[in-house]
Structure 1
């Protein structure tokens, strides 16, 4: 994928150049502009027919994803598309292939090569119930190519080693090495009320975790008292 970041470095837009008949997958609703590009909504499943429909609906119900995903295909040798994340923050390219694969938190996916696929990996009931990831599954990549993820705020990488596990607030986790083990639990106190941290992910093993520097739910809580209510 040939791309560049345009605009403010803190809130960039992803500009992708496409050759004739070259396609990429992008998050539904993320297109900002196109030139000589065909945009087509596809079922969010690698299967065809009824199996594909049921698979896409299943993904939506279990993970909170859209039933559809957008395919963008170049129709000339100088086609291009602008892709805008739904939240303000950095964009990061994760290169996947072979044993290097990632798991993505809800809302992190922005775009990927057609050679990259992703599947829904099941979690145990405790992780799914407490994790806030949208259901009993998380997204795991497969194949080879580029995956673009977006964050709220900046993106930082934390390295996990066997002798130094890292605990991270679940709302700050964007993506992590698929080889890492992790456990989701309450930070402390009764549902985190004593510290205000709530749910956290504890990562073990050897690998990297990408985190976002801002928390969208915390922002919503901060501005909520200033929003007009239905009684006003």
Structure 2
């Protein structure tokens, strides 16, 4: 009988690993849209509204959240009708994948960190303060927060480092933050005011306080996009502007 606890393998021999999830009959998993690489015939992918409730209220909630947070109004649900179901996933950016066990500890995720969640766990979108939403640039007015028991797969751009705070305070570039313990206090703000941030090149940061875990990624996708953009020009002949390839990447 399915216990809805995720069974998965991450191929450590691959530089950019795939994640293969095993599903028994009746088991489900929620996955990042567009992350599926392959699946067996017993696995079916379904599109679901990314909201709680039912009827018109669920539809309005999903659309409203999408407009205010930048998150998709839909999520992909994978379900197996046999015990031999297999589903392989790949993140949208090259980097490491980690598993976070949910139960006594829950997490908040930065935008783009979600890869998969087993059917026994859930997540909600918590409203952030206007200041956090304005400075954060990732997640907007809402931040993804996990609930229940199960397994969450999170992905990063580059490698992931785990940092543990014991009643301490730490400031991290917000673009490097992947996930953090829900019990930690956090404050998204400019590093040293507007002018100082321009001068140092360190802009929006996230200051954490308390006891818990923080997962950071080694690469910054905003900095990477700027580097790539400086080497790509349009084919219009005037040498100006970014290419359509870079626009699609961003």
Q: Give the TM-score normalised by the residue count of structure 2.
A: 0.88
Asked whether the 8 Å contact 1:10–1:153 carries over to 2, the reply is no
1:160-199 alignment runs, 5 A limit: 160-162=165-167, 164-188=168-192, 190=195, 192-199=197-204
Deviation at 1:125, TM superposition (A): 1.1
Does 2:145 match 1:150? no
Q: Give a deviation string over 1:99-150, Cα, whole Å, max 9, x none.
A: x110000010000011211111122111110111231111111111001000
Runs of 5+ in structure 1 lacking a partner?
none
Asked whether the 8 Å contact 2:110–2:139 carries over to 1, the reply is no
How many residue pairs get aligned? The number is 230
Deviation at 1:7, TM superposition (A): 5.9
Cα distance between partner residues in 2 of 1:44 and 1:123:
18
Cα distance between partner residues in 2 of 1:9 and 1:206:
34
Asked whether the 8 Å contact 1:157–1:211 carries over to 2, the reply is yes
Aligned to 2:74, which of 68, 74, 77?
68
Deviation at 1:75, TM superposition (A): 2.1
Cα distance between partner residues in 1 of 2:67 and 2:15:
33
Cα distance between partner residues in 2 of 1:105 and 1:111:
14
Q: Which residue of 2 aligns with 1:45?
A: 51
Q: Give the TM-score normalised by the residue count of structure 1.
A: 0.95
Deviation at 1:225, TM superposition (A): 1.5
Deviation at 1:2, TM superposition (A): 0.6
Q: Which residue of 1 aligns with 2:19?
A: 14
Deviation at 1:170, TM superposition (A): 0.3
Q: Give a deviation string over 1:47-93, Cα, whole Å, max 9, x none.
A: 22111111111221122111110011112211100011100000011
Deviation at 1:193, TM superposition (A): 1.0
Cα distance between partner residues in 1 of 2:132 and 2:216:
19
Cα distance between partner residues in 1 of 2:39 and 2:11:
14
Q: Give a deviation string over 1:182-209, Cα, whole Å, max 9, x none.
A: 1111112516111111100000011110
Deviation at 1:8, TM superposition (A): 4.1
1:5-154 alignment runs, 5 A limit: 5-6=10-11, 8-35=13-40, 36-98=42-104, 100-154=105-159
Asked whether the 8 Å contact 1:61–1:135 carries over to 2, the reply is no
